Amino acid sequence: MEDFKAAAKINGISRMYLLKRWLLDFAYPNRCPFCDKIIPFDEYYCAGCGSFFSAPPEKEELKFLNGLTAFTSYDTVSRAFVAELKSNNNGYALSAAAYMIFKRLIEEDFIADLDCITCVPMRRKNIQKRGYNQTKLLAKEISGLLGLPFVPLLKKTKDTLEQKSLSAEGRRVNVKGAFSVASKHYELNGKNILIIDDVCTTGSTLSENARTLKSAGAGRVFAAVFAKTKLY
C-alpha cells in the first residue's frame, strides 16, 4: 500500500494533479503570477519571483493545534500577494500560493498521517459578496497537490467582529463558539485533519476550529497557512 501511495506521486505531488496541469497548459500556457513570464507546466512561479518572500517566523504552539506551518512571514510582500488572492480569482496566484504552502508541508512529519484537508469557513453572506471563498480554493488546490480528500468539515454559525480590530484576548473571545461541524457524513472519529488558512495572526480562529473538530472526535489537528505574523 505504501509503495502504491508513493508511486502515485512525483516529489510528493499527486500524479493526477500534474496530469491536469499538463493538460491545462495546452489551453492556457502556464505563467508566473508575479511577472507574467511563461513557465513550464510543473513550475508555479519563476525562480526570481519566488525569492521575494521572507522566511516564516519561528514556530509557536497554539492551543488545541498539534502543529502549525507557515510558508512566509506576514510582511509587505506577503500582504500584497494575499490581497491579490482575495480580490481577484487568479488561478496562477492560487496555484503558486498552494505550492508554496505544500513545500513547507512536505517537510513536516505529520504529513504521512493526514486523513483529510479542510479550511477555515467563511459566512455565506461574505462568500456571496466576494463570489468565492479563497481559503476554500486554496485548501482544494493543496488537497489536489497532496492527493488527499478535501472535506468542508466546518461552518461558521455566529457573526463575529473583524478580528483585525481586536486585541489578542478580544480575538479569542470573539471566535469562541463561532463554529460547528458541518459535515455529518464524514466520520471524524480519530481522523487527523489539516486546516488551511491564508493568514494567521494570533491563531485564535485556527485554535477554535481545532477545538471544534476535536470536541467532535477528531484525532490530531494541524494547520498550514500562507503567512504568519511574528510574535511580539
Residues that bind Zn ion (CB under 5 A): 32, 34-35, 46, 49
Please tell me what DSSP assigns to residue 68.
E
Residue number, 93 or 218, with CB nearest to Zn ion: 93
CA angle in degrees (0–180, nearest 5) for 151-200-176? 70
Q: Which CB sits closer to Zn ion, 25 or 108? A: 25
Q: Please identify, using beta-carbon distances, which residue of 34 and 150 lies nearer to Zn ion.
A: 34
Asked if 82 and 199 count as a contact pair (C-beta separation under 8 A), the reply is: yes
Q: Which residue, 39 or 199, has its beta carbon nearer to Zn ion?
A: 39
106 C-beta neighbours (distance < 10 Å), count: 13
Q: Name which of 96 and 119 has its Cβ closer to Zn ion.
A: 96
How far from each other are the two terminal CA atoms of the chain, in whole angstroms? 45
Please count the CA atoms within 13 angstroms of the CA of 82 that sit on its side-chain side: 20
- CB nearer to Zn ion: give 46 or 182: 46
Minimal distance, residue 159 CB to Zn ion, in Å: 40
Nearest distance from C-beta of residue 21 to Zn ion, angstroms: 17
Which residues, in sequence order, are bridge partners of residue 117?
A: 150, 194
Do the Cβ atoms of 68 and 203 come closer than 8 Å?
Answer: yes
Q: How far apart are CA 86 and CA 135, in angstroms?
A: 9
Closest distance of CB 146 from Zn ion, Å: 24
Read off the C-alpha cell for 228: 504568519
Judged on CB neighbours under 10 Å (0-12, 13-18, 19+), 198 is buried
